[in-house]
A and B are shown apart, each in its own frame.
Chain A
Amino acid sequence: MENPSAIRSDAFDDIRRAVRRRYGARAAIADVTVATLGGSNRTVIFDLVEGAARRRLVSRQETYTSENSPFLPPSDQFKVMKLVHANGFPVPEPVFEYDAADGMGNGYVTAYVAGDTMPRRILSDPTYDDVRPRLAAQFGDLLALLHSLDTSAVSFLETWPDSIDPLEALRQRYDSYRESHPAIEMGLRWLERNRPAPPRRRLVHGDFRVGNFMVDRTGVSAVLDWECSHIGSGMEDLGWLCMRSWRFGNVDRPVGGVGDRSALYEAYRARAGSPVDTDAVRYWEIFGLARWAVLNMMQAYGHVFGGRRSVIYAACGRNTSMIEYDLLMTLAGRYS
């Protein structure tokens, strides 16, 4: 006698089973869409149906891990998201983590937050014309909130190389690819010789930029992608946000291609209670350019040697040169 459920081959049976383990045998999933396939994550969006109640959720599973990965494992990301969510920071609500009994590897489920992440639309779509002028200030306010949080609940982050010394972590990652890049060496040397004073240690998002914000007509509805979070100088986040690469062509609007530094810094100061160290922001912008160049080298290395083949990763390797150009132009004082 055939088992009826074995006849129907359903690509989302694993998620359905995980949901039923937690919400009971009558819980169902509906309106399932796959957000991304390939890369290092399987992201599936679905409605959790419990009787008359429906709730839209997002499932994220790690499908690839590398030994040399700079990214936090999903369970650590989940802990960071729980901390920030509990403190009123806009992040998709963490709902549950997959465990060994689910047989789905590492991953978690969060609430679905509506909005747009596409830089092109955030920068130029008329839908966001009203909110766009307010974004830089909102970014500043959010970062000051993030950096004010008590990090004891995520003290495990302190052992992460980026928490111990981000410059040394960057140098080691760059060295692991065994290539000779004078531009990156110039960046590393400058960064070594101009280290800021040791900062008050904050929870740092690590990839706080346009592209990782869910934006709606009211502003930032959620900050995504916590896999780079660590403990360090809050100015790292401001530097990364203002980096030339994240202006998406609007090079004279330093804050994410949408706003001015004064709006960002003033909003940050207003919530943090102390002014932004603008020299430190410049330091971390230069760091950010060196880091982004090395991350593109990493993608190319994975494509050539690591079996993660994709035209996108191949392009990353060649795009490294443009980031190096921005790095040298910034060191030379021609770009700011």
Chain B
Amino acid sequence: MRQDRPEIDNLLHSIQQFVESIVPRLDAEDRYRAQVSAYLLGICRRELAAGEASTDTAEPDALADFCRDIRAGRYDQRWDAALDRAMEQVVDKVKVVRPEYLAPDHREPGAGAS
């Protein structure tokens, strides 16, 4: 972590709050882009907070192998196991993008707010 305050999450959050604050002053097209920008900043913050501890970023080769196996039909008789494994990766992605989108049993305990 850098020495000087604020930390990176604070930097991003400060920008996010500023962008959200100017939304009412913008015209329709810019307003939409500003809302999307604030949303992307939230994703950045959650991605940084999640760090390296997620199946989404781990082992790109394993991911490619898994995909090849699915396409070749090697999971046809182990369909539920494949669904579970694919779901794990997708849930990790959605936790960073919009955690409240997940069904309750896929969320972090105590999570759900943006």
State whether the Cβ of A181 lies closer than 8 Å to any Cβ in chain B. yes
- Asked if A331 meets B67 with Cβ closer than 8 Å, knowing A311-B37, A314-B40, A318-B40, the reply is no
- Set of chain A residues within 8 Å of B12, measured between Cβ atoms: none
- Set of chain B residues within 8 Å of A188, measured between Cβ atoms: 71
Question: Size of chain B's interface in residues, with CB distance under 8 A?
Answer: 34
Instruction: Indicate with 1 or 0, residue by residue over A149-189, a CB within 8 angstroms of chain B CB atoms.
Output: 00000000000000000000000000000001111011011
Contact A332 B67 (CB under 8 A): no
- Set of chain A residues within 8 Å of B36, measured between Cβ atoms: 311-312, 315
State whether the Cβ of B97 lies closer than 8 Å to any Cβ in chain A. yes
Q: How far does the alpha carbon of A36 sit from the alpha carbon of B36 in the complex, in Å?
A: 18
Instruction: Indicate with 1 or 0, residue by residue over B41-74, a CB within 8 angstroms of chain A CB atoms.
Output: 0010000000000000000100110110011010
Q: How far does the alpha carbon of A322 sit from the alpha carbon of B83 in the complex, in Å?
A: 15
Contact A322 B70 (CB under 8 A): no
Instruction: Indicate with 1 or 0, residue by residue over A246-284, a CB within 8 angstroms of chain B CB atoms.
Output: 000000000000000000000000000000000000000
State whether the Cβ of A138 lies closer than 8 Å to any Cβ in chain B. no
- Asked if A193 meets B76 with Cβ closer than 8 Å, knowing A311-B37, A315-B40, A321-B94, the reply is yes
B71-114 interface with A by 8 A CB criterion? 71, 73, 75-76, 82-83, 85-87, 89-91, 93-94, 96-98, 101-103
Question: Size of chain A's interface in residues, with CB distance under 8 A?
Answer: 26
- Set of chain B residues within 8 Å of A331, measured between Cβ atoms: 83
Min C-beta distance of B27 to chain A, whole Å: 12
- Set of chain B residues within 8 Å of A315, measured between Cβ atoms: 36, 39-40
A305-330 interface with B by 8 A CB criterion? 310-312, 314-315, 318-319, 321-322, 324-325, 328-329
Q: Say which residue of A182, A324, A332 sits within 8 Å of B70 (CB atoms).
A: A182
Q: How far does the alpha carbon of A318 sit from the alpha carbon of B96 in the complex, in Å?
A: 9
Contact A318 B43 (CB under 8 A): yes
Instruction: Indicate with 1 or 0, residue by residue over A30-66, a CB within 8 angstroms of chain B CB atoms.
Output: 0000000100000000000000000000000000000
Contact B71 A189 (CB under 8 A): yes
Q: How far does the alpha carbon of A331 sit from the alpha carbon of B79 in the complex, in Å?
A: 10
Which of A312, A322, A325, A334 has the most chain B CB atoms closer than 10 A to its own CB? A325
12 A–B pairs (Cβ distance < 8 Å), ordered by A:
A180-B66, A182-B67, A182-B86, A183-B89, A185-B86, A312-B33, A312-B36, A318-B43, A318-B96, A322-B101, A329-B103, A332-B83
Q: Name B residues whose Cβ lies closer than 8 Å to a Cβ of A.
A: 29, 32-33, 36-37, 39-40, 43, 60, 63-64, 66-67, 70-71, 73, 75-76, 82-83, 85-87, 89-91, 93-94, 96-98, 101-103
